[in-house]
Structure 1
Amino acid sequence: MKLTAWLLAAALVAASPLASAAQDAAAQLTHAKALMRAGVATQPQARALFGQAAQQGSAAAAYYLGLMLKNGMGGPQDSTAAMHWLELAAQGGVAPAMFILANLLLASDEVQARYWLDTACGLEYPEALQQKSLALGEGRMGYAHDEALSALYLKMATHAMGHRPPEP
């Protein structure tokens, strides 16, 4: 009896409008990524799809939109808009966005750059761990020079490379 009730509840949840909307959003994101990677001709469409999804609150879409704007893919390059969308993606927990944002902020706001780099390191994002290792080893980005801590971060980066999470 309990199994039947559980199966019925699971079927109702899967058929609910919220589950359907989540599946549609995931499908839209997958489609937009395919268009972005297909080449220059389909990138404007990808940029528009990422824009729609980002405006509806998708942190992953905000990340891809920010990348496209930063690199001038699918339309003109727009550093200000790129920074906006990458920051929203970073606030949404997208580690690659945190890492890119940290590097974009490095010249203008070292404190914020360090915040986003540390946050990405907390999520074990390999590139962030590697960059922090270098910064510690060289005493850059406001980090004190610390060879032992640098070696530890490099070891963590190496480990994280073998356990990379899926892309957003």
Structure 2
Amino acid sequence: MQCKPAGLACQTSRAVRASRAVHRLPCLFSSSRLPRMHKNLISLALALALLLPLPLLAQTPPTLLDLQLIAIEARADAASHSPESIAEFAETRRVAETGDVEAQLALACMLQLGVGAPQDTALSMAWLRKSAEAGYAPAQSALGLAYTVGGKVPIDRGQGEYWLRKGVVQNDALAQTILALEFINGDSSAEEQALAIKWLKKAALEAHFIPAYNALGEHLMRAAADEQDRGEAFHWYDRSAREKEPAGMRNLAHAYELGLGVKQSDKWALIWCERAAWRGDLPAMRRMIDVYVKGELGQQANADDAAEWRSKLAEKENK
């Protein structure tokens, strides 16, 4: 088994998966804090929370973005009914009721994550839609992602694309990335494919939206016609990996293993594949088992190491 670059899973929902690269999501969402926060973190946190429970995500190999893991972390960080969070919820709701779109998005996120109030998906969606309909790009992107992937709300691909396009018009990086992935991996025209690359590059180069790095690298590698193209793809894998994205680490390992856009190196292939595996990337963990079963990437066959990785893989798959 080789550590192959992952494409989007073409299942019923074509679930887009997000990565840990968004880091630990903030658990405080009051409007007074919003100017200091990356708005995509809030919109992504909300969309991710709307996806749970979503068994398909647990069954599908990790691809570009690991939605489930981030959503679980967001819940663990954010679910709180402390006096402070209850007061913050009340203040956020007060501001939201004045028509403040940022506070409306923050309130939707708090309601979905259960911060300062009982979890309420229906009310969360109502506030999210209110913010989106008022023209707030991060809310439009969160709503589009929720409808595109499904989970706690029914999949509606038409609504998903409608709201994502609204976000794209306003240069929202989350909308650009998700809609680009839909076009790249769907039955899209050549014009839509070109738009997808344009959006990914804007999200990566202008907004520095970390999940776009690996997505861009994967598409460039698939479309590469020569070593220069593969070198550009390698560059984005490297950017993603250095932001600690497991999928980027895995793809970087594969590039080193096969010499795609970089000088072949078993040493660096092993280093990056092992780093991805330690961060819970399932394909990388399976590759590490193969490394020690077959004695690859410069390693001697080692039954004990192979057994250790099998144990870690089983533990991860059973979570």
Structure 1-normalised TM-score?
0.69
Distance 2:133 2:198 in 1: 25
Distance 1:114 1:83 in 2: 17
1:115 aligns with 2:198: yes
Q: Rate the CA distance shift 1:148–1:63 in 2: closer, same or farther, 3 A.
A: same
Q: Is the contact between residue 54 and residue 61 of structure 1 (CA under 8 Å) also seen in structure 2?
A: yes
**Cα deviation digits, residues 80-119 of structure 1 (max 9, x gap):** 0111101111222221111100011122131222222122
Q: Rate the CA distance shift 1:68–1:151 in 2: closer, same or farther, 3 A.
A: closer
Amino acid across the alignment from 2:104: Q
Shift of 1:74: 5.2
Q: Is the contact between residue 102 and residue 136 of structure 2 (CA under 8 Å) also seen in structure 1?
A: no
1:49 aligns with 2:127: yes
Amino acid across the alignment from 2:231: A
Structure 1, unmatched stretches of 5+, are 1-19, 163-168
Amino acid across the alignment from 2:156: D
Higher relative contact order (CA 8 A, sep 6+): 2
Q: Is the contact between residue 32 and residue 45 of structure 1 (CA under 8 Å) also seen in structure 2?
A: yes
Aligned residue runs from structure 1 range 5-154, under 5 A: 24-38=100-114, 42-73=120-151, 75-106=153-184, 107=186, 108=188, 109-122=192-205, 123-139=207-223, 144-145=225-226, 146-154=229-237
SS of residue matched to 2:100: helix
Q: CA RMSD in A?
A: 2.9
Q: Is the contact between residue 44 and residue 73 of structure 1 (CA under 8 Å) also seen in structure 2?
A: no
**Cα deviation digits, residues 138-161 of structure 1 (max 9, x gap):** 32xxx5442221222222223456
Question: Percent of pairs identical after alignment?
Answer: 25
Q: Rate the CA distance shift 1:83–1:155 in 2: closer, same or farther, 3 A.
A: same
Name the one with the larger helix percent.
1
**Cα deviation digits, residues 15-74 of structure 1 (max 9, x gap):** xxxxx7899332221110122234xx6112111111111111100111111122223355
Q: Is the contact between residue 121 and residue 128 of structure 1 (CA under 8 Å) also seen in structure 2?
A: yes
Query: 2:49 matched to which residue of 1?
Result: none
Distance 2:176 2:241 in 1: 19
Q: Is the contact between residue 86 and residue 101 of structure 1 (CA under 8 Å) also seen in structure 2?
A: yes
Shift of 1:78: 1.0
Moved more, 153-162 or 106-115: 153-162
Shift of 1:128: 1.5
Number of aligned positions between the proteins: 140
SS of residue matched to 1:76: coil
SS of residue matched to 2:111: helix
Amino acid across the alignment from 1:34: M
Structure 2-normalised TM-score?
0.39
Query: 2:239 matched to which residue of 1?
Result: 156
Amino acid across the alignment from 2:101: A
Query: 1:4 matched to which residue of 2?
Result: none
